[in-house]
Structure 1
Amino acid sequence: MTTDTTTQHQGIIPLPEKAARALVAIGAAATAISTFLAWTWTSEFPGDLTVTGYPGGLQVLALVGALLTLLFAAASYGIRGLRWLNPAGTDSPLLLLTLGLFGVVGYTVISITVELKGIVNLEPGAFVAAVAALAALVGALGLPVRRDNGDLTAPANAWETFRRAIAAAPARKPTRTLPSWVELLLIVVSFGIGLYVFTYGIDTAYAELFVGFLIVVAFGFAALTKSGLIARLTTLTTKHRNVTMAAAFTAAAAFPFTQNNDAYTSVGVNILVFATVALGLNVVVGLAGLLDLGYVAFLGVGAYTAALVSGSTSSALGIQFPFWAAALAGAGASLVFGVLIGAPTLRLRGDYLAIVTLGFGEIFRITMNNLNGTTGPDITNGPNGISNVPDLDMFGFNFGDSHDTGVNSLGRFGNYYLLMLVFTAIVVLVFRRAGESRIGRAWVAIREDETAATAMGINGFRLKLLAFALGASLAGLAGAVQAHVTYSVTPDQFEFAGTAPPNSAFLLAAVILGGMGTVSGPLIGASLLYLIPVKLQFMHDYQLLLFGLALILLMRFRPEGLVVNRRSKLEYHETDQLSVPAQLTLSDANVGTSKAGA
């Protein structure tokens, strides 16, 4: 017989539970209805919020947030057929969704007021939306905080109550076994939804819509995580790993076929280059635990090597390799530099190794500047770089031309996107195989405690050099494609902390933000760090400050990164596995110890 240790406290705002749930549902429904009303009278605000009868622009995002809130509100009532939405059985998803709904509505109302210079520019629909979203939030704040970990103490203040409401422990309900075909279908549908969300975000035409998109996605993803749906999906993807990888790359390959504007596809191919290099850095930082601050130099070595042998009119070598040979040359050159730099420096540890790698990155950039025929041999044209890198022509397929696919016209960047996706698949395969191998486990052992690993017979220096060389060669492979995508290679593309990624600071931030030691983490982190500055141009002068602030907040609230690694989660979060129960006194503990000794 088990006892129910679930306790119930009053919410942040003292409301009866039934009234709070009703207020959430009514507020979300009213917000959804308000999106079909005009929110402003003038079309000067982007998104056409002047129409009555259908939503537009930011109203669509508010409608999505309201419908999600209604669904979870219905699930919290225990309506049959919707309980699967909240397998954790807590009200945390409802609170997060109402926060996101109020955030996107409030942001829209404030943006209209500020950009059009006055609250008089708001139509009644905007006031209805603001009041309704606030009512839904108030209702969610009035929901009682449930705990199932035996904590019988009442929250000390409103902030503690709010923190507990967000971090409410899930009710551990048994997972229903599904047929295999249903599990596979869920995986495919999930990646289809992911493709649609990513396509919508990258296709946002103005900054206000992208900010609203970030608000809805951030709070929506947090709500799905707290509900337990993400955990169940993770279980399915782990069980069907090969199907998951195939579905992921199929969804990614479908992206350029959804675009009619090659400008958005150019963002996609640059994200892939950035993400692939970040995944290569993850071998060095995430698996082996080596802090490399000059990793972008290996990308530069691969890019310069491929540009020199590509047949460019500004190349000092004057030769043209087929692309496969140029790509292998770029990877090989980066591999050689990785060994040459790593051999004398990898006996250092911690900050000393970081400073040496940072110096290598700067030395590479300065050297490329000096090989201009004046201060050194004329090889790289100095700051002008190697330009006019020709488009690829493989098997009669010219990557610089547009090609009719029957669905759309696949432009130049769409062609290179698909090529880069093949290289990303290769890097993912190498990372997975290396991480799951005996060598990968040795890297993890070195990362956790090199002294203990050495005592167990692991050759730390040799394995660290292998990680350094492998990461460098993967970066060189991506650099070979980047040289053809950008038409030119210049030294300012490979700074430590330049104005645009990829650079060493952004690559390291992508690995930490996404989750060290994971496959999908650096891909997600790189996508966010590249896409946000591109869409929000006003952040250009403050992006390093904002990214630094984001990393500080991440280290405080989610140090393991966006994608959770089981080992990192256990390392960064306290557990009560070894703690003494609260009811056990010190004398009892001493008695138990003495008995055990006897």
Structure 2
Amino acid sequence: MDKSTDTAKVSTAEATPIIPLPQAAARGITVAGSALALIGTFLAWTWTREFPGNLTVTGYPGGLQVLTLVGSALTLLFALSGYGIKGLGWLTPGGKNSPVLLAALGVFGTTGYAIGAISQELGGLVNLEPGAWVSGIGALVALIGALGLPVDQPYGAGEPTPNLWGRIRHSLTAPDPGRAKELPSWAEILIIAGGFGVGLYVFAYGIGTEYSELFIGFLIVAAFGFTAITRAGLLKRLSALTAKHRNVTLGAAFAAAICFPFTQTNDQFALIGANILIFATVALGLNVVVGLAGLLDLGYVAFLGVGAYAAALVSGSPASTIGVEFPFWAAVLTGAAASLIFGVVIGAPTLRLRGDYLAIVTLGFGEIFRITMNNLNGNSGPDVTNGSNGIPQIPDLEIFGFNLGVPHDVLGHELTRSANYYLLMLVFTAIVVMVFRRSAESRIGRAWVAIREDETAATAMGINGFRLKLLAFALGASLAGLAGTVQSHVSYSVTPEQYQFAGSVPPNSAFLLAAVILGGMGTISGPLIGAALLYLIPAKLQFMAEYQLLLFGIALMLLMRFRPEGLVADRRKQLEFHETGQLDVPEDKPLPEGATGVAKAGA
């Protein structure tokens, strides 16, 4: 009796908030602070237009003010949902307080960054107008109130009372929102379409940010907002609907992707979208090798280079030493076939190795490919690739009389060259997604997973490990070569320096592997999201190029510490990297009749 009482006391103490406030008062302070921060966005934040975004207008938010407004509105809605207001309860099916804290942190971080950026660029806090102070104080008050709210679920007995960092870490734990109310099929489909519509708008807004300060603020709001929505349980509810309507989900995803170029008026942003798709498609091909078969390939970018060089040599470039011009479909098949052959040639003698030894061999292959392309210049070797000069002046593709290098008017909107290649690459991405999905769900895909988990056990069960690993290697190489054929035409040229193990500009082997790990190995959407983030952030923050690899390493360490399964993880990875929540059998509990001591020890 005393022991259970002590346990209850510990759980109650550990549910105590960081700032001791009555729950009603803490929620009221959060609501007031977020409302104050929202009101401040309609006031001027600075007196001069020298700071980008024109924050001098009263009554019309712009630039960083819009981000604070969105974050404050989200915090306000989450905080009001805790009052049991009819119509707002669906916002937090998994937890009432943790989403409030995460959203408040996002508002405080964005507003604080905006105030610091204005002060640093214009020369001091004196350049701030009252609106900035109102939003800043409101964001601080909202955060204080959120810290006064108790945690949604008490910590386990025996754990220390959580500090601020522990409270935030607990808030990041994805909850179980429970079973949702059954809705008509048409309503569920509308929810899926709305979710992808919101995702398209957020993605288009992020790419369309025109200056680095706005993009950094966008990253802060998007990161904390996405985590808050996840912690609220909304993302799991949406995931359940997408799993129920899988075909509708795929259709909605590609419909949203098709709409992207119609939301862009700057050709440079459409080019970023096309390159993101190239990077994401290659990462998804690598996911076959690493995510499904468990083969650590550190030279995968070489297969992208093989496809790009093969397509460049047969696409009619004046610098091509072959002097032939294949139609588009033949050039694509040539690039994919060349990468497939190289995958088999490299994989056959090396895939009997495991672990670190295989990684070293594949890393060597990547460097050998780059050096070989550099030496085929007519001096060090045969004149095939023009050495370090590469193959320039690759002509634009023409498909069924449709020249992708010329702008076209579609539905009253002008599709630029970059938008044309974006749509073409979207078709290739759809093909790769279909191949990956069908492969993962097939008997071969299950055999790959068995090899990844324990190759010795898989071999004992009758699986031919070498043959299936070679098949995964060849399939992944051909998918990379498929993307390489489009990359060579998008960039107009191919050079050996584009295909390194690590560099300042993706795609390279290190960034491709990081995209798979960051997004979530073995999933479809994970590598796509990881590749989009790893390409978009360096493209928008070019002033940080000198510190890119340093920041990249720090991000990977933080990811491995707090989210080792990736941003989008399958159930197997979640069970592998996190506790299942099952209780241990108490040592003083008597054994049931017929049980043995061995059974108790195993329990």
1:30 is aligned to 2:42: no
Q: Does the CA-based 8 Å contact 1:85-1:229 persist in structure 2? A: yes
Q: Deviations over 1:76-99 (max 9, x none)?
A: 111111111000133110000000
Q: Counterpart in 2 of 1:265?
A: 270
Q: Counterpart in 1 of 2:247?
A: 242
Separation in 2, partners of 1:171, 1:359: 45
Q: Deviations over 1:43-88 (max 9, x none)?
A: 1111111111111100000000011111111111111111110001
Q: Deviations over 1:454-513 (max 9, x none)?
A: 000000000000000000000000000011111101000001102211100000000000
Q: Kindly report which structure 2 residues correspond to 1:111-260, keeping only aligned pairs within 5 A, or say none.
A: 111-147=117-153, 151=156, 155-159=160-164, 162-163=167-168, 165-167=170-172, 170=175, 173-260=178-265
SS at match of 1:145: coil
Separation in 2, partners of 1:187, 1:44: 42
Separation in 2, partners of 1:201, 1:393: 31
Q: Counterpart in 1 of 2:507?
A: 502
1:516 is aligned to 2:510: no
SS at match of 1:542: helix
> Please, which moves more after superposition, 165-174 or 251-260?
165-174
Q: Counterpart in 1 of 2:596?
A: 593
2:545 aligned to 540, 546, 563, which one? 540
The structure-2 alpha-carbon separation of the partners of 1:135 and 1:266, relative to structure 1 and needing over 3 Å to count, comes to same
Q: Deviations over 1:237-263 (max 9, x none)?
A: 111111101110110011111111111
Separation in 2, partners of 1:589, 1:116: 74
Q: Kindly report which structure 2 residues correspond to 1:80-99, keeping only aligned pairs within 5 A, or say none.
A: 80-99=86-105
Q: Does the CA-based 8 Å contact 2:81-2:96 persist in structure 1? A: no
SS at match of 2:377: coil
Separation in 2, partners of 1:216, 1:191: 18
**How far is 1:438 from its partner?**
0.2
**TM-score, reference length from structure 2:** 0.95
The structure-2 alpha-carbon separation of the partners of 1:34 and 1:360, relative to structure 1 and needing over 3 Å to count, comes to same
The structure-2 alpha-carbon separation of the partners of 1:319 and 1:173, relative to structure 1 and needing over 3 Å to count, comes to closer
Letter in 2 for 1:104: T
Separation in 1, partners of 2:534, 2:126: 37
Q: Counterpart in 1 of 2:584?
A: 580
**How far is 1:580 from its partner?**
2.1
SS at match of 1:517: coil
1:290 aligned to 289, 295, 302, which one? 295
Separation in 1, partners of 2:408, 2:190: 32
Letter in 2 for 1:205: E
1:46 is aligned to 2:49: no
Q: Deviations over 1:399-418 (max 9, x none)?
A: 11011113321010111111
Q: Counterpart in 2 of 1:400?
A: 405
The structure-2 alpha-carbon separation of the partners of 1:171 and 1:201, relative to structure 1 and needing over 3 Å to count, comes to closer
Q: Does the CA-based 8 Å contact 2:174-2:230 persist in structure 1? A: no
Separation in 1, partners of 2:26, 2:485: 58
Q: Counterpart in 1 of 2:448?
A: 443
Separation in 1, partners of 2:371, 2:136: 55
SS at match of 1:328: helix
Q: Counterpart in 2 of 1:351?
A: 356
**How far is 1:121 from its partner?**
0.5
2:366 aligned to 361, 364, 377, which one? 361
Letter in 1 for 2:112: G
**How far is 1:589 from its partner?**
9.3
**How far is 1:585 from its partner?**
2.3
Separation in 1, partners of 2:22, 2:158: 20
The structure-2 alpha-carbon separation of the partners of 1:147 and 1:327, relative to structure 1 and needing over 3 Å to count, comes to same
Letter in 2 for 1:562: L
Q: Counterpart in 2 of 1:274?
A: 279
Separation in 1, partners of 2:284, 2:20: 48
SS at match of 2:596: helix
Separation in 2, partners of 1:576, 1:539: 42
Q: Does the CA-based 8 Å contact 2:95-2:231 persist in structure 1? A: no
Separation in 2, partners of 1:171, 1:391: 50
**How far is 1:155 from its partner?**
4.4
The structure-2 alpha-carbon separation of the partners of 1:123 and 1:462, relative to structure 1 and needing over 3 Å to count, comes to same
Q: Does the CA-based 8 Å contact 1:40-1:123 persist in structure 2? A: yes
Q: Counterpart in 1 of 2:337?
A: 332
Letter in 1 for 2:530: G
Letter in 2 for 1:458: I
Q: Counterpart in 1 of 2:73?
A: 67
**How far is 1:145 from its partner?**
2.2
Q: Does the CA-based 8 Å contact 2:99-2:229 persist in structure 1? A: yes
Separation in 1, partners of 2:128, 2:523: 46
SS at match of 1:47: coil
SS at match of 1:404: strand
Separation in 1, partners of 2:563, 2:314: 45
Separation in 2, partners of 1:332, 1:161: 52
2:376 aligned to 371, 383, 406, which one? 371
**Structure 1 stretches lacking a partner, 5+ long:** none
Q: Deviations over 1:525-546 (max 9, x none)?
A: 0000000001011221111111
Q: Does the CA-based 8 Å contact 1:368-1:380 persist in structure 2? A: yes
**How far is 1:592 from its partner?**
5.1
Q: Counterpart in 2 of 1:567?
A: 572
Q: How many pairs does the alignment contain?
A: 590
**How far is 1:152 from its partner?**
5.0
Letter in 2 for 1:83: G
The structure-2 alpha-carbon separation of the partners of 1:81 and 1:592, relative to structure 1 and needing over 3 Å to count, comes to same
1:465 aligned to 466, 470, 483, which one? 470
SS at match of 2:339: helix
Percent of aligned pairs with the same amino acid: 68
**How far is 1:584 from its partner?**
3.9
**Structure 2 stretches lacking a partner, 5+ long:** 1-7
1:381 aligned to 381, 386, 410, which one? 386
Letter in 2 for 1:118: G
1:488 aligned to 463, 486, 493, which one? 493
The structure-2 alpha-carbon separation of the partners of 1:71 and 1:576, relative to structure 1 and needing over 3 Å to count, comes to closer
SS at match of 2:116: helix
Separation in 2, partners of 1:293, 1:504: 6
Separation in 2, partners of 1:595, 1:317: 72
Q: Does the CA-based 8 Å contact 2:174-2:233 persist in structure 1? A: no
The structure-2 alpha-carbon separation of the partners of 1:168 and 1:473, relative to structure 1 and needing over 3 Å to count, comes to closer
SS at match of 2:110: helix
